[in-house]
Structure 1
Amino acid sequence: MKKSYQKIKPQKRQKPHLRLGTIALLLLVFLGVGSSAWQLWKLHVSVEQQINQLTQQKEGLMQQEKSLHEEIAELNTPSYVEQLAREQLGLVKHGEILISPKN
């Protein structure tokens, strides 16, 4: 008996076919991820702007606090208290006579 040898042809690999549904699903996933990334970026920019604005506001308030502390220190000096007592209350030192102009 004679054996016949058949040439075995290598099978061609089939190219994977992407179905339309798979492509649509991948497109939706990419759109969802892209949309989320865009929203996160916008949120990040907004937060950075708020941080900068609040930092500037804080610096302004700290300057105002410093000037108020300086004013409080000035108002508590004995010479300023004496000046206010003389000008606003008409008080005089012992032995002084108050002379005020007529209106």
Structure 2
Amino acid sequence: PPPALVVAAHGSRDPRALATALRLLERVRVLRPGLPVHLGHIELNAPLLPGTLDELAASGAGSAVLVPLLFGRGHHVTRDIPDAAAAAPLPTRVADPLGAHPLLVDALHARLTEA
């Protein structure tokens, strides 16, 4: 089976952030129907990343890929997410953060034009 995709979001006290993350996950599920897609927050919101990884292992998932829903290589990307991956009860890899991907540049340009 494919590895589970775990979107590692920061978390926020603003409920719109969680709603946005959930909409993103639903879009990924539509585009990749055979891919198990999960959410894990670094802080402030449930589910927290370690709990998501524990649940995946308990459900029999073979492995996971953590994709940081973050732009740069700050502390969460260099320490918190790799630490969660290392402590996970299943084989786990960490992808690069979003960074300055061309699709994000296009989205930024579209938002600028809208504003």
**TM-score for both structures, normalised by structure 2:** 0.19
Give the number of the structure whose alpha-carbon radius of gyration is greater: 1
More relative contact order, 1 or 2 (CA 8 Å, 6+ apart): 2
**TM-score for both structures, normalised by structure 1:** 0.21
**Larger helix proportion, structure 1 or 2?**
1
**Larger strand proportion, structure 1 or 2?**
2
